[in-house]
């Protein structure tokens, strides 16, 4: 069962996908989830597929939408056998934030992420930074008031998009793979929140154009 605060994804019978969050656990088979902004469930409420992640795997189960409570949250009643998927999908989002990279034998390097997933990130770093492949780093992250440090390994570095003749070596792009998963749930939550915010902004822009 997903716990309170767990980010979840559910797919409707019409193949619409929404990210949400568990707001409460009613029983061993029922949970309350937030209604995605701008989405009104159909009447009668159709069955959906619900998935959530744990450090060891992704879990998926069928569920019935039983109704909406006084707070506007959906009540989901899980149905049938829970499916454990060993190979998790690591959703990557274009989440831009400032991070600090620190190696064991060098000073801190300021960087900016280009995209982030629970398994790693790509970030833009100064061209003068020395980041050998397989080098181990600590990465200081901060998003939405949450801060923590996670270990990572350098997969590769490449010249940045602005590495022109006039600015040769000004920046480079580094791909990092997280070597610990203690903060996987937090990073996944950030990615889901970012995706949901982007979809809401896109929906609002489309409505404004109409």
Q: How far is it, in rounded angstroms, from Cα 38 to Cα 20?
A: 12
- H or E, element range at 155: strand 146-159
With 0.75 as the threshold, say if the pTM is over it. no
Residue 44 has pLDDT above 60, yes or no: no
Question: Quick one: average pLDDT of 31-51?
Answer: 67
Question: Mind listing the pLDDT tens digit for each residue in 61-111?
Answer: 888 878 777 777 878 888 888 887 754 456 677 888 999 999 877 789 999
The fold adopted by the segment(s) 7-85 is Pnp Oxidase; Chain A (2.30.110)
- Find out whether the peptide bond into 44 is cis, omega within 30 degrees of 0: yes
> pLDDT-based confidence at 165, cuts 50/70/90?
very low
Domain definitions of the chain by residue range: 7-85, 98-189
> pLDDT-based confidence at 173, cuts 50/70/90?
very high
Question: Mind listing the pLDDT tens digit for each residue in 1-17?
Answer: 788 878 787 777 666 67
CATH class of 98-189: mainly beta
């Amino acid at each position: 069962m997903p716990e309170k605060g767990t980010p979840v994804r559910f797919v409707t019978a019409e193949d619409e996908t929404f990210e949400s969050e568990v707001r409460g656990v009613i029983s061993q088979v029922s949970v309350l989830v937030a209604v995605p902004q701008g989405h009104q469930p159909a009447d009668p409420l159709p069955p959906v597929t619900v998935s959530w992640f744990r450090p060891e795997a992704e879990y998926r189960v069928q569920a019935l939408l039983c109704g909406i409570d006084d707070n506007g949250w959906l009540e989901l009643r899980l149905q049938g056998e829970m499916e454990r998927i060993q190979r998790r999908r690591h959703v990557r989002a274009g989440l831009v934030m400032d991070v600090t990279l620190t190696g064991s034998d060098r000073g801190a390097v300021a960087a900016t992420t280009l995209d982030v997933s629970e398994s790693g990130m790509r970030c833009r770093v100064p061209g003068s930074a020395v980041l050998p492949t397989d080098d181990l780093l600590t990465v200081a992250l901060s998003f939405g008031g949450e801060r923590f440090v996670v270990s990572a390994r350098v997969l590769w570095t490449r010249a940045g998009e602005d590495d022109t003749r006039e600015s040769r070596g000004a920046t480079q792009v580094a791909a990092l793979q997280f070597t610990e998963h203690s903060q996987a749930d937090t990073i996944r939550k950030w990615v889901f929140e970012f995706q949901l915010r982007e979809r809401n902004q896109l929906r609002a822009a489309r409505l404004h154009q109409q």
